[in-house]
Amino acid sequence: MTRPDYFPSPMHELLLRAGLLKDDRALAAWRAWTAHVRLPDDPVDGGTFRLLPLVYHNLTSLGLRDAALPLLKGIHRRIWYENQLRLHSLADLLDRFREAGIPTLVLKGAALVLRYYADVGLRPMDDADVLVPTERVLEAIVLLRRMGWRERRYREWSQVDPTIIATRHSWEFSNEAGDRVDLHWHALSTSCFPGADDPLWRGAEPLMIGSAPSLALNATDALMHTCAHGGCWNPLPPVRWVSDAMHVLRSAADHIDWQRVVDMVQWLSATLPVRDSLGYLVEHFDAPIPAKVLDQLSHVSVSAEEHRAYACRSSAPTGFLPGVGRVWHGYAHYRALWMRRTSSQPPVGLLAYARVSTGQPSTRHLLQRALQLIWRNAPAWMSRAGKAQSERAANPQGAFVDHRTN
pLDDT confidence of residue 396:
62
How confident is residue 206, by pLDDT bands cut at 50, 70 and 90? very high
How confident is residue 320, by pLDDT bands cut at 50, 70 and 90? low
Residue partners of 243: CB distance under 8 A and separation at least 6: 16, 19, 20, 51, 54, 123
Mean pLDDT to the nearest integer, 142-165: 90
Phi first, then psi: give them for residue 403, nearest 5 degrees. -85, 0
pLDDT confidence of residue 85:
95
pLDDT confidence of residue 118:
87
Each residue's pLDDT tens digit, 81-93: 999 999 999 999 9
3-state SS of the chain? CCCCCCCCCHHHHHHHHHHHCCCHHHHHHHHHHHCCCCCCCCCCCHHHHHHHHHHHHHHHHCCCCCCCHHHHHHHHHHHHHHHHHHHHHHHHHHHHHHHCCCCCEEEHHHHHHHHHCCCHHHCCCCCEEEECCHHHHHHHHHHHHHCCCEECCECCECCCCHHHHHHCCEEEEECCCCCEEEEECCCCCCCCCCCCCHHHHHHCEEEEECCEEEEECCHHHHHHHHHHHHCCCCCCCCCHHHHHHHHHHHHHHHHCCHHHHHHHHHHCCCHHHHHHHHHHHHHHHCCCCCHHHHHHHHCCCCCHHHHHHHHHHCCCCCCCCHHHHHHHHHHHHHHHHHHHHHCCCCCCCHHHHHHHHHCCCCHHHHHHHHHHHHHHHHHHHHHHHHHHHHHHHHCCCCCCCCCCCC
Map out the domains of the chain with their CATH numbers: 83-302 (3.30.460.40), 305-391 (no CATH)
Closest listed residue to residue 271, CA positions, set 224, 325, 320, 235 = 224
pLDDT confidence of residue 340:
94
Q: Is 80 exceeded by the pLDDT of residue 9?
A: yes
pTM for the predicted model, two decimal places: 0.89
Pick the more confident residue, 17 or 393: 17
How confident is residue 245, by pLDDT bands cut at 50, 70 and 90? very high
Q: Is 70 exceeded by the pLDDT of residue 64?
A: yes
Among 62-66, 215-219, 314-318, the range with the most confident prediction by mean pLDDT is: 215-219
How confident is residue 379, by pLDDT bands cut at 50, 70 and 90? confident
Specify the range with the lowest mean pLDDT, choosing from 126-130, 156-160, 274-278, 283-287. Answer: 156-160
